[in-house]
Structure 1
Amino acid sequence: MPNQRAKPTLRRRRLGGLLRDSRTGSGQTLDAAAARMGWDHTKLSKIENARAHIAPRDIAPLMNGYGVTDEAMISALEALAKDAGRRGWWATYGDVAASGYTDLISLEADADSVRFYSPTLVPGLLQTGGYARQIIAATAVTRSTEEVEALANIRIARQSVLSRLGKPLKLRVVIDEAALRHKFPGAADVMREQMTRLLDVSTNPNVIIQIMPLGAGPHPGLAGMFSIVGFQHPWPTVVHVESIRGASFVEGTDDVVIFENGFDRITAAALPVDESREVMKKIMEETKA
């Protein structure tokens, strides 16, 4: 079987995309921008399309040539250029995780915040190992037992962003009450452990959990599950949308704003944090019965 070119990392693709946007925004052609740097146009084309590396030292002169002098932005691009080719811990799991899923993990690793609406499940960033295995086994119907275990391990490893040193991920989630009332025949302890986890993590200063009550009226979340992944300047916000066919990403200011406005309406329809904790405690007590 012939060798296949490794897929560029998401970091390299995002870097290339921002460099391309900066060039086109300045009105420069690929040939003109490359000539200014003393490069062949194919080199710059490969950098913009994530097929070649750019040295951090080349970021400032390239961006200055586009009229970009924002030091914070240039520093962020230089930092990403240093790490653009680095593959995360998830690469050790090979092809078990689909590319869309590893892209999500990469986004979470670089993100400042995540806002998540989940109508049917406890969000992956808050799942226990037992809950994750049950859900993955039920939904990933083509996976072997070994693959289910590997995917569950990946899901738990993702959660390290909530406790990373320096700047833990800020997480705000809205979970439908119905999702917390799922039954696991033959494994009643699964939901008890999961509810304990939610109550424990809800006391963390970087985690906000709200419950959408069973009696809530119509709201934008009825359209389905999604998460809004936010970053520090200059990186744009990305929306991750999940469905039975897999995941997709929404980018672009206008489209992202639709989801942000929708999430604001969802949080307004959900119970306040304190009342949400009371609902979780009540469900927790019911699982002991």
Structure 2
Amino acid sequence: MPVRLGLRENAQQFTPLVIVNAFVGGTVWSLLQLLLATKSFTLTQIGTVAAVYPAVWGLGQLLTDPLADRLCKKDPLFWSMLLQGAVLLAMLFTSSYPAFLALAALLGAGTALVYPTFLTAVAEYTPATQRGHLPLLARCGLCHRRAADGTVSSGIPRPPHDPVYVKSRCFDPFPFPAATEAQQAEIHKLAEQLDSHRKRQQAQHPTLTLTDLYNVVEKLRAGLPLTAKEQVTHENGLAAVVLELHKQLDAAVAAAYDWAPTLPDAELLTRLVQLNQQRAAEEAAGTVRYLRPAYQAKSVSSEQLAMSNEQ
């Protein structure tokens, strides 16, 4: 039976990897400069070595990010973290400046492979019921993310077509619908179909990435012509099927809100903000609509939960 690198079921396997990776990052940023200073390097040399690591890390992710969509997750994690450990050990016994530059570059390459692979491992192996809740996959979730992510924490403006998921801005304030069990089941079924379709097409076509696939999906949605390369992506990923599944998911989520599925984005966002304010008033009055009561409301009695969900 294959080992599944999930969150809850395999925390004993996944958590140590996260801890080790955090240790590597903390060691590099806090102790590398001190190590170089003890080996009598100049400030310029220390700064250069310290800069090579994040430079290779950042640029390397331009290559490793699409690879993480296609490779087996366990192998890149194992070898990249083994590389990180070997580099850190080698740094203790190295005194040559060129050698430190090479080791810093190798450390950056290992880290560049670790981070995208962690993210895709979480996305791929975590069941849909344990992910960010499914309405966020629909158009209302995308509209909310675009509005919430006009700027990121650094204050750098972001284009509206390139939203970034930030939990405190996107998930925490998002007002989920008070869906019936039948509506929840329908949304769950469509989300699973979408997830299974994408995984199946990527397994059949290892070079297919979700980024390329969704660029084509957005062109199909807008009725724009495809390039020759995009046509190949369209055929390999069956992008029209992805678009149709998203339309069905949008309609199912809209029905859970009791809204029309064709609302303009501005009206959709206005309603989400109004619903957020309504939910905040409900919670101030003691009514909390838990998404996963078994995990979020362990101290709340079943009678209280029933009363809360009925309101």
Q: What TM-score do the two structures reach when normalised by structure 2?
A: 0.25
More helix by share: 2
Higher relative contact order structure (alpha carbons within 8 Å, sequence separation ≥ 6): 1
More strand by share: 1
Q: Which has the larger radius of gyration?
A: 2
Q: What TM-score do the two structures reach when normalised by structure 1?
A: 0.26
